Amino acid sequence: SQTIHQWPATLVQPVGSPLSLECTVEGTSNPNLYWYRQAAGRGLQLLFYSVGIGQISSEVPQNLSASRPQDRQFILSSKKLLLSDSGFYLCASTLGDPYEQYFGPGTRLTVT
Amino acid sequence: DAKTTQPNSMESNEEEPVHLPCNHSTISGTDYIHWYRQLPSQGPEYVIHGLTSNVNNRMASLAIAEDRKSSTLILHRATLRDAAVYYCIPYTSGTYKYIFGTGTRLKVLA
C-alpha cells in the first residue's frame, strides 16, 4: 500500500512571506497527485491536481502554485502569503481511475 | 460536476446501524459514487465506491438507487470511532477531480 508524507505538520508564517509545502509518496509509481485546502470549519477545496511529471491542473485562481518535479513528489508554493491562505493543506494520491484517494497527514498553516 | 445534497448532521446510538443518505440527481450514467469520511483533525479516509450495483466492504455497505439519483452509506454497527464527517462524491472517470461538498457530520452516542 502507498504512504504519503507531508511536512511540516504545522507552520506559522507572516503575511507576505513565501511558502513551500512538500508531499512525497511511497509504495507506488505514476500516481495522480492532489493538493486540497480546508479552511477552519469548512469542507475540502481542490487546489491542484497532477496526472504526471510537469503536468499541473489548477482548480481555483489564487496566489498559490504547484509543481511536480519528480513522479512521486508534489510541491505547493506561494511567493507571498495572504491571511486567507490559512488552513489545513492536504496532499492526496490515487493509483488509478476511478480508484480511491489516499491522503497524507496534512499541514496546518497559520498566516499571521 | 454533479451536485450532491447531504444532511448537515445526523446522530446515532452506538452499536446501531446508520444510514447516511446522499442525493445526486444530476449524476451522469457513468459517474461513480465515492464515499469518504474525515475524522477530527485528520485527512479524509476512503470508505467505499460503486457505479450501479450495491457494494460491500469491511467498513460499510453502499446502496445505490436503481435510478442512481441517490445512494445510502450503511454502517452496520456504529462505534464511537465512526464519529466523523461523511462525504458523498460523484466522480467522473477521466476527469481526475474529486469535489468534496460539506458532508454529513455523524455523531455517535454512547
pLDDT at B1: 67
pLDDT over 70 at A18, yes or no: yes
Q: What percent of chain B has pLDDT over 70?
A: 99
* B96 contacts A57? CB cut-off 8 A: yes
Q: What is the mean pLDDT of chain B?
A: 93
Partners of residue B64 on adjacent β-strands? B71
Confidence of residue A28 (pLDDT cuts 50, 70, 90): confident
Interface of B with A (CB under 8 A): 32, 34, 36, 38, 42-46, 49, 87, 91, 93-94, 96-103
Residue A104 is nearest to which of B43, B49, B100, comparing CB atoms? B43
Within an 8 Å CB–CB cutoff, is residue A87 touching chain B? no
Residue that the C-alpha cell 450501479 belongs to: B52
Select from A24, A17, A34, A26 the least CA-distant residue to A79: A17
Q: What percent of chain A has pLDDT over 70?
A: 99
| Residues, chain B | 110
Residue B4 has which C-alpha cell? Answer: 450532491
pLDDT over 90 at B53, yes or no: no
Distance CA B100, CA A46 (A): 8
pLDDT tens per residue across span A47-56: 999 999 999 9
Confidence of residue B36 (pLDDT cuts 50, 70, 90): very high
Partners of residue B50 on adjacent β-strands? B33
Averaged pLDDT for residues A81-102: 90
pLDDT at B93: 86
B74 φ/ψ angles, rounded to the nearest 5 degrees? -115, 120
Whether residue B100 contacts residue B2, with contact meaning beta carbons closer than 8 Å, is answered with: no
Amino acid at B92: T
Residue A43 is nearest to which of B42, B45, B101, comparing CB atoms? B101
pLDDT tens per residue across span B18-28: 999 999 988 88
Residues of A in contact with B91 (CB under 8 A): 98
Averaged pLDDT for residues A70-77: 96
Averaged pLDDT for residues A86-105: 90
Question: With helix as H, strand as E and coil as C, how does A36-90 read?
Answer: EEECCCCCEEEEEEEEECCEEEECCCCCEEEEEEECCEEEEEECCCCHHHCEEEE
